[in-house]
Amino acid sequence: MKELRFGIIGLGLMGREFASLSARWFHLLDMNVKPVITAVCDTNEKAVKWFTDNLPSINFTTSDYKELLARADVDAVYCAVPHNLHEQFYTDIIRAGKHLLGEKPFGIDKAANDSINQIIAEHPDVLVRCSSEFPFFPGSTEVIRAIRENSFGRIIEVEAGLLHSSDMNPTKPINWKRMIHMNGEYGCMGDLGMHVVHIPARFNWKPQNISARLSNIVTERPDGKGNSVPCETWDNATITGDVSHDGYTFPMTLHTKRIAPSETNTWFIKVLGMKRSMEFSSKYPKTLKVLDYNGGLQAWQHIDLGYTPPYPTITGNIFEFSFSDSLLQMFAAFCDEVVNGRENMKQPFYCATPEEATESHRIFTESLEYHKRVRGKV
């Protein structure tokens, strides 16, 4: 089994999640590659200590990411840093010849994303992918298969979203995702939107005539020092557009929301068609809704899904799937593609590409432009 040696830059929540996946790798069956975490980087010494306490494979720690990139024992990098650092960090990682799995949105804005893409084009031997795990849920896999097989007939409408209630409490202290200089003007779109755009972009469903409703609901939050400071980024966004497909047009609606009552990391996709309709939501990970229309009664079936992800696991098709399982599947897809190449992957669905991340930037930029033009405010 080939070892793929990883460095991790950014040791916060997602950095820890990523590291834990390497410890769960034996949950996957029939893999010919194994990730090994060899080096980590963060300016927070306590964060570094968590990694060294839990991962004996680490043999190098640093607060300077360029030192990590100079290591010969690092083949690939997982990078999870604030959006304002993406352009510098991602381009340096690629220039260093390290394969990159980076967090979305791949640049704080379109200009930063363009800069990253330029460096990607100059290094074709480096695999670059964007983190987006929800399409690896079993229910998502079924929707993807149905799209590939053209099971829907003429598509009537598509709706997708990622919904949180994480900011419902107005006394929650502010963090970098509520600050434009770190998160960017996109706000919730940049933070959540790649997850929503991933499947539509994969099938070239590119919305035109974009309109958007952007909401800044909580305008101030505590700063943890006894003061209130402005919340500068959008809490919620609903984006609509027209998709041209097979000679006809259908409407598509995309939701990214941080203030959505009762929702806790709820990702969903709904495709309505003349022959078949399907809906899957991570809120009900065991359930896939399917409606087949053959001229008779119309009734949704609620199909009970087992644990049947793209990469087989110990549990087989029993028990239910979780968010951490989707991360493991995404990590497996990245390692599979690095080692075996896209054409020889063990299953066909690969991680989000730079081109798909760029499509998300187009959508978010046009949404901002629409809002400024029509709503009259940033």
Q: What is the pLDDT, as a whole number, of residue 375?
A: 76
Q: How do the domains of the chain map onto residue ranges?
A: 2-130, 137-321+347-373
Mean pLDDT of 121-133: 98
Which distant-in-sequence residues (6+ apart) come within 8 Å of 314 by Cβ?
A: 27, 29
pLDDT tens per residue, range 277-303: 999 999 999 999 999 998 888 999 999
When pLDDT is cut at 50, 70 and 90, the band that residue 378 belongs to is very low
137-321+347-373 matches 2-130 in CATH topology: no
3-state SS assignment for residue 366? helix
> Is the pTM value of this prediction over 0.75?
yes
Cα–Cα nearest to 158, from 254, 283, 282:
254
Mean pLDDT of 87-114: 98
> In degrees rounded to 5, what are phi and psi of residue 114?
-60, -40
Superfamily of domain 2-130: NAD(P)-binding Rossmann-like Domain (3.40.50.720)
CA 53 to chain centre: 28
pLDDT tens per residue, range 147-191: 999 999 999 999 999 999 999 999 999 999 999 999 999 999 999
Mean pLDDT of 220-234: 94
Half-sphere exposure of 28 (CA within 13 A, CB side): 26
Mean pLDDT of 31-40: 98
**What kind of fold does domain 137-321+347-373 have according to CATH?**
Dihydrodipicolinate Reductase; domain 2 (3.30.360)
